[in-house]
Amino acid sequence: MTAAYDALIAHTRQTTALEQAAGLLAWDQETMMPDAGLAQRGEQAAALQLAIHDRATDPRIGDWLAACDGADLPPMALRNVALIRRGFDRATRVPADLQAAIARAASHGHGVWIAARAAKRFADFAPTLDTMLALKREEAACMADPGQRPYDALLEAFEPGLTSAALKPLFESLAGPLSALVQAIAERPAPPPLSGRFPADAQRRLVADVAAALGYRLDAGRIDIAVHPFCSGQGSDVRITTRIDETTPLDCLYSVIHEVGHAIYEQNMPDVTLLEPAGRYASMGLHESQSRLYENQIGRSRAFAGWLYPRLQAAFGALPVDGPEALYAALNRVEPGFIRTEADEVQYNLHILLRWELEERMIDGSLPAADVEEAWNARFAALFGRAVPDAAMGALQDTHWSQGLFGYFPTYTLGNVYAAELFAALERAIPDAADLIAAGDFAPLRTWLTTHVHARANSRPAQQIVADAIGYAPSAAPLIAYLQAKFSGLYALA
């Protein structure tokens, strides 16, 4: 039985190493690759994906798993067996031609979506979305366990163990308080923004210093410029990207702080099990919780504004905001926008709620693509209190659906919920957390997160890791309390 497990895990480790190689190709494409190299890179990435897929569906995995049945293995090995079995079952349940059809539809859909968004015409995208929905429903039906809802089968790819039934009360508890908060803030004057002229070189130096101060290991990572900020890699080679807007330092800085949260999670998992399923990240939601906690609970706190202010002065000279308190307000400006990726902490989860409601109905068949734009606009007006001006600002703004990503959006809000819960627990464990942040002593916070989250990797489901860390079952209550307290103060609400 041990021989079967050894063969299984050696095979899996090699597959993971190939996935890391594929990750490097993707990083290079966004940061280093010369423009002309795109078509060739496509062939390289496709060849690598095929090699990975062949390994992931190798029939010997079934034999090894069968031989491991009932084996007397240590807990991490049993967890590996369970995760590999789950992945193998789900991968082999979907016929290869359906997988290929989805890949083709995603590639085609992405192009159609770009054109439709440029034209601001949802109708141009709707037929393509319907095709994708039919394929994804078929895929969900293949992957689902007996009795599992199709949407939950898709959700599992990103957040194992999560169900839409569990999401429903979470989103319902968020909807009322956040919608009320947004509409109350809208009646208040917005604080001055941090705008002016901020040279690119000075921004690059500043964000490298901030990233290092937060605990990002630059000897095991690097920061580059890309169109979209992202984090790539595992363990001893975790790279982040950012972008630079010379009219404000905040886009670059808070992209870096967000990605640093992801990177610190990846850099602090146990080295020896990095290539094993139980040694990787536990879920997309838990990953996002780490980026959000650094970006918001730490990075947009009053204490952090106090630490950051003199560093901004040193980097850029005189600032357009007068003192740390004004910086704190500028870091937390709430503006009436329409775009999820530009949304502040208060509005962000309402964006996700809206998408989750719509995509769940799209997958269960009760919302055809032709009706999505109208449903979007109606729900947006109810939640945000204003009308969507056009489809590019509304139902066409995100790429996810065009590429078949259904069940991904909820992990963003789950990340915010986990972040609020984990930070509340961290503050109970480290009562002087705000003083440490104000002093730039971030190590004790990172250590607490490593102990309770990073080092646990995927040893158990994400929900369990959070529950173990906070000492009770997760809920949205800490997030709501955090946002209400913070923004009531900032905007002088009753």
Which residues are known catalytic residues? 259
Confirm if 383 and 441 have CB atoms less than 8 A apart.
no
Say how far apart CA 286 and CA 456 lie, in whole Å.
11
Q: Choose one: 119-127, 218-226, 292-300, 436-444; the region binding a second copy (CB under 8 A).
A: 218-226
User: What is the closest distance, in whole angstroms, from the C-beta atom of residue 439 to a second copy in the complex?
Assistant: 28
Residue with tokens 């919920």: 417
48 vs 81 by CB, closer to a second copy? 48
| Out of 1, 2, 6, 50, the residue judged to bind a second copy by CB under 8 A | 50
| Out of 7, 44, 114, 166, the residue judged to bind a second copy by CB under 8 A | 44
Q: Does residue 464 sit in helix, strand or coil?
A: helix
- Using the rule CB under 8 A, is 463 a contact of a second copy? no
| Out of 33, 82, 436, 477, the residue judged to bind a second copy by CB under 8 A | 33
Q: Which letter, b or e, does each residue of 231-267 get, where b requires 16 or more Cβ atoms within 10 Å of its Cβ?
A: bbbbbebbbbbbebeeebbbbbbbbbbbbbbbbbbbb
Residues in the chain: 494
The DSSP code for 228 is S
Q: Sign of the C-alpha dihedral, residues 281, 285, 291, 297? A: negative
| Out of 39, 165, 473, 492, the residue judged to bind a second copy by CB under 8 A | 39
Tokens describing residue 253: 């800085």
User: What is the closest distance, in whole angstroms, from the C-beta atom of residue 7 to a second copy in the complex?
Assistant: 14
Q: Does residue 196 sit in helix, strand or coil?
A: coil
Q: Does residue 238 sit in helix, strand or coil?
A: strand
Confirm if 202 and 315 have CB atoms less than 8 A apart.
yes
- Using the rule CB under 8 A, is 460 a contact of a second copy? no
- Using the rule CB under 8 A, is 37 a contact of a second copy? yes
Tokens describing residue 310: 């003199």
User: What is the closest distance, in whole angstroms, from the C-beta atom of residue 17 to a second copy in the complex?
Assistant: 4
- Using the rule CB under 8 A, is 275 a contact of a second copy? yes
Say how far apart CA 53 and CA 266 lie, in whole Å.
24
49 vs 464 by CB, closer to a second copy? 49
Say what angle helices 250-267 and 284-292 make with each other, to 10 degrees.
Answer: 130
| Out of 1, 2, 6, 40, the residue judged to bind a second copy by CB under 8 A | 40
- Using the rule CB under 8 A, is 394 a contact of a second copy? no
Number of residues that bind a second copy (CB under 8 A): 43
Cα angle for residues 155, 346, 353 (degrees, 5° grid): 30
Q: What is the distance, to the nearest Å, from the Cα of residue 133 to the centroid of all Cα atoms in its chain?
A: 23
58 vs 130 by CB, closer to a second copy? 58
The DSSP code for 338 is -
User: What is the closest distance, in whole angstroms, from the C-beta atom of residue 48 to a second copy in the complex?
Assistant: 6
| Out of 1, 2, 46, 370, the residue judged to bind a second copy by CB under 8 A | 46
235 vs 299 by CB, closer to a second copy? 235
48 vs 133 by CB, closer to a second copy? 48
| Out of 1, 32, 96, 429, the residue judged to bind a second copy by CB under 8 A | 32
| Out of 146, 165, 219, 366, the residue judged to bind a second copy by CB under 8 A | 219
Q: Choose one: 97-105, 172-180, 232-240, 285-293; the region binding a second copy (CB under 8 A).
A: 232-240
Q: Choose one: 17-25, 86-94, 98-106, 285-293; the region binding a second copy (CB under 8 A).
A: 17-25
Residue whose C-alpha is closest to residue 291's, from 350, 242, 237:
242
- Using the rule CB under 8 A, is 170 a contact of a second copy? no
Q: Choose one: 41-49, 140-148, 201-209, 243-251; the region binding a second copy (CB under 8 A).
A: 41-49
Say how far apart CA 51 and CA 24 lie, in whole Å.
16
Task: Give the strands of the sheet with 237-242, arranged side by side.
Answer: 223-225, 237-242, 231-234
Strands 237-242 and 231-234: antiparallel
Residues of this chain that bind a second copy (CB under 8 A):
13-15, 17-18, 20-21, 24-25, 28, 32-41, 43-48, 50-51, 55, 217-222, 233-237, 239, 274-275
